[in-house]
Structure 1
Amino acid sequence: MALQQVVEQIVTGLGYDLVEIERSPGGLLRVTIDLPWVQPTVDAPVPATEQFITVEDCEKVTRQLQFALEVDGVEYKRLEVSSPGIDRPLRHEQDFVRFEGSVIDLTLKAPIGAAAAGQVSATRKKFRGLLSRAESGGWQIVWSDEPAVKPGQKVSKKRVPAPLQALGFTLDELRDARLAPIVDFKGRGAKTGQVPG
């Protein structure tokens, strides 16, 4: 059985989602897991408290994987099982649905091109903005190129804010997409839906 199949079978069998598998030089096998996501419905809205992967979850998966990989003869020197972290990769359509409305960093495989550029450089590949559904049914990222205001900096009331920009994309056009690693030291109850500058 292939490595992907073995790992996925063990991880999902224990009740977790497999986010990614990485093989690194030196024999490191890194497996990233997350709790399964259930799309909210009218009958089952979003739970009030988020649940996260714990050390105990990682230990449980590690023990099972060590046994299964040994039985299948998969060679590795070190196994690392972890949570996706604050810069969680977005790989599948379900990931984009789950994190709609979040600030993400995305990198395109190819520059956007002169035809679609408008105010954006035609050679630009990297964007940080708010993930949302496009009117066409696909996905888009919305951002403003306005620099962030530094603490204590006075902003003129006459200053015209930079316009919001949007870029539609398909999953095939992406090289990488991740949740933006934004840490708010004021707590989890921060304002949501703000477009980053």
Structure 2
Amino acid sequence: MSKNVIAITEQLVVPILQQDHLELVEIEYVKEGSNWFLRVYIDKEGGVDIEDCGRVSEQLSKKLDEADPIPGAYFLEVSSPGAERPLKKDADFTRAVGKHVHITTYEPVGGAKVFEGELVSYDGKQLEVKEIKTTALIPVEKIATARLAVVF
């Protein structure tokens, strides 16, 4: 059911986002405690603000009420993906070139499963991550998680 809710929500929210030149980053439909949450993460060049999130939330809420894809009560949250935005799509990795990233892999690559450093390049098949002492080439199919990372 979660995948169905996510797919329907995506169909409903994408046209809303396109009107304001916003990007859909991710949709989650999760149960936390006894409550269900439908979370929609959006972004745009320069970042989203509270007005963007409020406008999308209001419009999406109306569309969800009409389509009624979720039985029972849930909380709708529309927000920014934050400073440590997940990287999932080709466009995410392409935009992240030159930025600091944190990557984990399903299996070791060159003896390691965790990489953090500058994303030097991305060619659709592998990432080149320059760490402090080494540079790692990470095949895309081995990536478990990828996100931007804040450097302190």
Shorter-normalised TM-score: what interval? 0.7 to 0.9
Structure label with greater radius of gyration: 1
Is the Cα–Cα contact under 8 Å of residues 101 and 146 in structure 2 kept in the other structure?
A: yes
Say if 1:137 and 1:107 are closer, same or farther in 2 by CA, change over 3 A: closer
Partner of 1:17: 23
Partner of 1:107: 104
Q: Distance in 2 between matches of 1:136 and 1:63?
A: 36
Specify every segment of 5 or more residues in structure 2 that has no aligned partner in the other structure, as ranges.
1-6
2:131 pairs with 1:143: yes
Give the structure-1-normalised TM-score: 0.65
Select which of 45, 55, 64 maps to 2:59: 64
Q: Deviations over 1:47-99 (max 9, x none)?
A: xxxx2211000000000110111111122511111111110111111111112
Moved over 6 A (4+): 134-137
- TM-superposed deviation, 1:10: 2.6
- TM-superposed deviation, 1:182: 2.8
Letter in 1 for 2:69: V
Select which of 165, 168, 172 maps to 2:141: 172
Aligned length: 141
By percentage of residues, which structure has more strand? 2
Give the structure-2-normalised TM-score: 0.82
By percentage of residues, which structure has more helix? 2
Specify every segment of 5 or more residues in structure 1 that has no aligned partner in the other structure, as ranges.
38-50, 145-163, 184-197
Select which of 40, 64, 74 maps to 2:69: 74
Is the Cα–Cα contact under 8 Å of residues 86 and 182 in structure 1 kept in the other structure?
A: no
Aligned residues: CA RMSD = 2.2
Partner of 2:88: 91
